Amino acid sequence: MVLHTLHKSRVSHARVGSLLTKDGCIETPAFVAVATNAALKAVDLRSVPDLDVLFCNTYHLMLHPGADVVAETGGLRRFMNTDRVIMTDSGGFQVFSLKHGTVHDELVHSSSLKKASVANKSKRQPSVADVRVSEGGVGFRSYRDGTRLLLTPELSVQAQKQLNGSIIMPLDELPPYHVSYEDLKASLDRTLRWEQRSLDEHLKQENGQLMYYIIHGGSDRGLRKRSVDFVRSKGGWGGYAIGGALGKDREEMRDIVEHVMGECGLRQLRENTGKPVHVLGVADPKSIKQLVKLGCDTFDSCWATKVARHGAMLCEPSTTVPSGRINIQSGRWKRAHFSLPGCSCHTCSTYSLSYLHHLAKAKEPVFQSLISIHNLTFMTNFMKDIRRQIEENVL
């Protein structure tokens, strides 16, 4: 058993649990902060003491400083000098982002792209990365020195062994949201083979790390089912992650995840195996609330820090702030000589909104750091509240 269930909600499929890793326990449901380059962007990790778990990107760390350099210290936790639990990805997501852009980019440019093939998409972003997929793995050019590299499932896992994260991911292919059924199916089939090869490599030297199986199939219900069926009879996986394109909006995402959890049987599988369910790349408060109710346990996304750097401070939605965030750059805060109510983070317990507004307008670099600290603290407090609501059977 990897995830010990402490309480099951009586009104939804939500559960409060304790996820056991080689590097410590995580209380779930949990928010996983993205620390791409083994660092929170613009934030010293010590400024956010309640953040239990981080998500680092293998692609970036392989290119710099190199997984071997991190391995010399014993892994990311020693390299970063932290006791937090660390998840690493396979590196595939970043490589495929070089080719396709993110789902968001794709939808922003979507009107002319609905029928676009993968080949057309690479034209849209004439990438120096020159990404090519083969059965062996995914080839690309290093953005640092132009060297041609091939990321195979085995190499990705070996790099993740060197980084020595608590939770690791198999290599998978990330087809864009608008892709034909045939291409999506071919991609899923290849991903299933890559995931199996990743697991085989992982099990050669397990090292206490948990490897999650990633569920793919885009927005096709049959392919999602096929992806869950593949893992049903197989041991060795430490948990499940829902990945791939999760729809164009929150409603479609909810439908896809509900289909995966319900009809495809992932909810039953997590009960039978005592393993956690992670959602890749989705962690805004509204989505988390929806997905927790479907039975998902952990969520990673750079959203909270990304919006922070543009001046959005997260807060509880209310009648005066229905969106759940204020824009500190707005002139409305120029003379607000008080701090954001209800938050005791480093930023809010030290500075007024007026001062933060001034830093934003003066483009002082510390502004990005201060707002990011607030948003990350908001997310950890938000998750504590989610766990409380589940325990009280209101969520």
Binding site for Zn ion (CB under 5 A): 343, 345, 347-348, 374
Q: Which lies closer to Zn ion via its Cβ, residue 3 or residue 328? A: 328
Is 89 catalytic? The answer is yes
Distance CA 353, CA 128 (A): 43
Q: What is the DSSP letter of 339?
A: P
Structure tokens at 46: 């010590």
Burial degree of 13 (CB within 10 A; 0-12, 13-18, 19+) = middle
Distance CA 305, CA 106 (A): 21
Name the strands in the sheet holding 138-141, side by side, starting at the edge strand that comes first in the sequence. 132-133, 138-141, 148-151
Beta carbon of residue 1, minimum distance to Zn ion (angstroms, whole number): 36
- Omega prior to 65 cis, within 30 of 0: yes
Amino acid letter, residue 370: L
Beta carbon of residue 44, minimum distance to Zn ion (angstroms, whole number): 16
Beta carbon of residue 386, minimum distance to Zn ion (angstroms, whole number): 18
Q: Which lies closer to Zn ion via its Cβ, residue 214 or residue 328? A: 328
For 53-91, the three-class secondary structure string (H helix, E strand, C coil) is EEEECHHHHHHCCCHHHHHCCCCHHHHHCCCCEEEECCC
List phi, psi (to 5°) of 239: 180, -175
Is 200 catalytic? The answer is no
Q: Are 290 and 392 in contact (CB under 8 A)?
A: no
Pick the catalytic residue from 23, 89, 172, 220: 89
Q: Which lies closer to Zn ion via its Cβ, residue 231 or residue 348? A: 348
Beta carbon of residue 326, minimum distance to Zn ion (angstroms, whole number): 11
Distance CA 280, CA 298 (A): 9
Pick the catalytic residue from 23, 172, 297, 300: 300
Beta carbon of residue 300, minimum distance to Zn ion (angstroms, whole number): 21
Q: Which lies closer to Zn ion via its Cβ, residue 163 or residue 345? A: 345
Q: Are 228 and 215 in contact (CB under 8 A)?
A: yes
Q: Which lies closer to Zn ion via its Cβ, residue 242 or residue 345? A: 345
Q: Which residue pairs, CB below 8 angstroms and at least 24 apart, start in 182-185?
A: 183/117, 183/118, 184/217, 184/218, 184/220, 184/223, 185/220, 185/223
Beta carbon of residue 298, minimum distance to Zn ion (angstroms, whole number): 23
Q: Which lies closer to Zn ion via its Cβ, residue 216 or residue 374? A: 374
Torsion 245-248-252-253 (CA) sign: positive
Beta carbon of residue 343, minimum distance to Zn ion (angstroms, whole number): 3
Burial degree of 170 (CB within 10 A; 0-12, 13-18, 19+) = buried
Q: Which lies closer to Zn ion via its Cβ, residue 225 or residue 358? A: 358
Q: Which are the catalytic amino acids?
A: 89, 300
